[in-house]
Chain A
Amino acid sequence: MASRAVFNPTGRLVALFAVFVLLFIGLIVRLGYLQIARADYYTAVAESQRKRAGELLPHRGTIYVSEGRAQAVEENFPIATNHKAYFAYAVPRDMKDPEYVARELAGALLAFRTRQNERVAAIIRTTGQKREEEPTATPTPSVSPEDQLDIVRQQLLTKFDQKTDPYEPFLRPYEVLDDEFKQFIEERALPGIVLEEQEVRTYPEKTLAAHALGYVGYQEEGRVGRYGIEGYFEDTLAGDLGFLSSERDTGGNYIGSAAREFRAARDGSDVVLTIDRVVQSFVEEELKKGVEKYGAERGSILVMNPKTGAIIGMATYPTFDPNYYYAITDPRVQLNPIVSDIFEPGSILKPVVMAAAIEEEKITPDTTVVDNGPVQVAEYRIDTFDGKHLGLQTMTQVLEQSNNVGMVWVGQLLGAETLYDYFRRFGLGEKTGVELEGETQNQIPEPTKWNVTTVATASFGQGVALTPLQALNAINVLANEGKLVQPHIVSKIRNADGTTKITSTEEVRQVVSTATAERLSAMMVSVIENGVAGLARVPGYYLAGKTGTAQVPDDRGKYSPDRKIISFVGFGPVEDPQFSILIKLDNPAGLSFASGTAAPMFRNLAEKVLKYYQIPPSYEATTKPKYSVSPGTGG
């Protein structure tokens, strides 16, 4: 039997096998090291290449005003919306030659700042603000253009010469690039200069209703609404942030099958205001003319619907442009004095006192009082505004002539408790709750703290401080059958999910009876038809009104002889009031009274509103005015 050859591996084969085994073991060890020991590191590297996570920014809600009250369909106009704008900043660590970048950028930046300063100056002029010297980042004009350029270049170089800095702004946070500067940056493509697109707030109507709107400004590196509607409804308008975390492919597209975490951003709600755009433009036009003509420091006009409490127009001059909210010389110009300033209303409060007395049946419109001269109350001597004393006067005539002596008698009939009670019932001394940021809480002293002087002065509107909105809201009671309604400026809120919340008329309380309100309305018509407010008359219409000229306390608490506030309140047509107006002028120049300043402003504005609302006249207007009154004859 033949023997078979037996396989006998040689030493070399064993060695080769051992090498392969060692290599395999090494591979296993290396894999173990990479996948177990360094797992976290490589997972993070892989995720950073694929995964993208970030917040989703919501769109801020739009604010609308309405127009077209007389038309079948009311139209809404955006008065505050959003648009894309460009910002620029530097990334110094990406600059290989910061000096080159600074040198190239300096000229364009200087030109941009010059244009910005011109824009700011123009806005300050057109908004009626006083022009004062402002410190700016640019050199003063007395420096030569070459030196200006050199200074800007140095400033830029100081910012850019930081090798590890990933972010360095060279503009103010609110400065949006204009077309020229943006085009320059795009075309030059300077290394380390980044152009970023962001959504910012814009106001297409510019200064229209600026004080009612407020603006969106910067606060602690974030944009936030300030003042007005933007401030009051900041949370509603801002919306909620969303979140997205997912994986992207090499093209930057999201991989649909990969795991993702997604929470949609909730866009802000849209707010529709009760302001009528056309009435608002009338108001601002008339206010600007009036303030400039009568040399007032500041003026305000408020127009409301007395039956619903809706604010139809609201303006203050000097004003500002919310698009350039930083273009101001005094921060107080951004405050809305109609809700935030308190003042002693003076004679425009007399109808409220008269209504209280009639409601309490202390007097009637025909009750008489004798005015033979100034009346002494404690250590004070109270006189009429013009020093005239007309003897026997009815209550209607007391109102027509704005007779302080007659009003003191009425106030004494009521007494402190009753007078205080009616003030509070008319809504004075408490916030109205209007949807505007910055409403001031004023206080009327408790009647226990009143003395005889307080009663006397309060009866003609001095010694009592309230906001213009409170004052007109109180007069609205007389135009609205004795009912106090809640003032509001928001008509509806439209949410992103499609739901709408509509503001309805809210009646607060019945302050006086309908009969009392009607009597006072007739007495106020007589003020215009027969009294000192003749210049407020609009032929063909019965309008109710009352003038007011109030003294202003100085720092020592005494009334200043040089400063006064002139005001006028009115509503009409008296048979079915559609609007009420308050006009207030702070410290008009010269010896001026409301009858010669605020009254004609009321007439001009009322004419426009009556025409816009297409309200036919109540009677055939005479071709010749009933009165011919020159300014300054009284009020």
Chain B
Amino acid sequence: MTANIQQQVIPRQRRRTPFYHHISATGTWQVRSLRAARWSPLGRLTAQRGSVTQSTVTVVFSLVALVLVAGLGFFYLQQVLGTASQGTDIQALESQLVELREHQKALELEGANLRSIQAVEQRVQQLNLVATDRVAYLAPVPDKVAVAR
């Protein structure tokens, strides 16, 4: 049974000088002046005696992790969208390639039709050309560029 001892509870008082808890190199907790630690990132996180800076670390870590995940996510999205748009460009080029090949085939076919025997024979008649009748073969003469029978 607990002794009925009258106790006096002293409420916490705000320190006159802002302070923060610091973990020294030896691992002990120290109370340091906030003013002195103005430039320390942890100096401003704790403004009250007894506040839990470990949660602050956790929050900070969570925020950093969130930023990282979001960043990676956006990077992935950018890559996927970029690939998709490049695929569209490639497809457009492929379509153009197909069109050019089709055009080439059409030109080849048109050329074949124009050079067909029937087309040539018709053209020969239109141009009033005549077939060769008698052909004379001349023996090559050295040092001569023109010969006549």
- Which positions in A face B, CB cutoff 8 Å? 77-78, 81-84, 202, 204-206, 208, 249, 253-258, 277, 281, 611, 614, 616-617
Considering the chains assembled together, what is the distance between the CA atoms of A257 and B106 in angstroms?
34
Specify which chain B residues have a CB less than 8 angstroms from the CB of A82 in the assembled complex: 105
Closest 5 pairs between A and B when the two form their complex, measured CB to CB = A256-B87, A204-B112, A616-B137, A257-B83, A281-B117
Residue of A nearest to B135 (CB): A611
Q: Which residues of A contact B88 (CB under 8 A)?
A: 249, 253-254, 256
Contact in complex: A255, B84 (CB < 8 Å): yes
Q: Kindly report which residue of chain A lies nearest to residue B88, judged by CB atoms.
A: A253
A-B contact pairs, 5 of them (CB 8 A): A81-B109, A82-B105, A83-B106, A206-B118, A277-B117
* B84-123 CB contacts (< 8 Å) to partner A: 84, 86-88, 90-91, 102, 105-106, 108-109, 112-113, 115-118
Q: Which residues of A contact B115 (CB under 8 A)?
A: 77
Given contacts A81-B109, A83-B105, A253-B91, contact A206 B116 (CB under 8 A): yes
Tell me which residues across on chain A come within 8 A of B106, comparing CB atoms. 83-84
Closest-CB distance, B88 to chain A (whole angstroms)? 5
Bound together, the chains give a CA A350 to CA B41 distance in angstroms of: 116
- Residue B80 is within 8 A (CB to CB) of chain A in the complex: yes
Complex contacts, B86 vs chain A, CB 8 Å = 256
Chain B's closest residue to A75 (CB) is B115
Asked if residues A257 and B109 are in contact (CB atoms below 8 Å), the reply is: no
B117 A208 Cβ-Cβ under 8 A: yes
- CB–CB A78/B117 < 8 A: no
B91 adjacent to A256 (CB under 8 Å): yes
Docked-complex contact A256 and B90, CB < 8 angstroms: yes
Contact A205 B109 (CB under 8 A): no
Residue of A82, A254, A257, A281 ringed by the most chain B CB atoms within 10 A: A257
Which B positions have Cβ atoms within 8 angstroms of A? 80, 83-84, 86-88, 90-91, 102, 105-106, 108-109, 112-113, 115-118, 132, 135, 137
Q: How far is the CB of A230 from chain B (nearest CB, A)?
A: 17
The verdict on A611 contacting B102 (CB below 8 Å), with A255-B84, A277-B117 known, is no
Given contacts A77-B112, A616-B137, contact A205 B84 (CB under 8 A): no
Residues of A within 8 A of B137 (CB): 614, 616-617
Q: A204-B109, A281-B117 are in contact. Are A255 and B132 (CB under 8 A)?
A: no
Distance A206 CA – B112 CA, assembled complex (angstroms):
11
Closest to A281 in B: B117
Which residues of the other chain, A, contact B84 by a CB distance below 8 angstroms? 255-258
- Chain A residue numbers with a CB within 8 Å of B102 are 84
Across the interface, name the chain B residue whose C-beta is closest to A207.
B118
Report the Cα distance A204→B112, complex, angstroms: 6
Q: Is the CB of B135 within 8 A of A257?
A: no
Q: How far is B108's CA from A82's CA once the two chains are assembled, in angstroms?
A: 10
A205 contacts which chain B residues (CB < 8 A)? 112, 116-118
**In the complex, which residue of chain B has the Cβ closest to the Cβ of A246?**
B87
Specify the chain B residue showing the minimal Cβ separation from A616.
Answer: B137
Chain B neighbourhood of A206, CB < 8 A: 116, 118
New A-B pairs, 17, CB < 8 Å, besides A205-B112, A208-B117, A258-B84: A78-B108, A78-B112, A81-B108, A81-B112, A84-B106, A202-B109, A204-B116, A253-B88, A253-B91, A256-B84, A256-B90, A256-B91, A257-B83, A257-B84, A277-B117, A611-B132, A617-B137
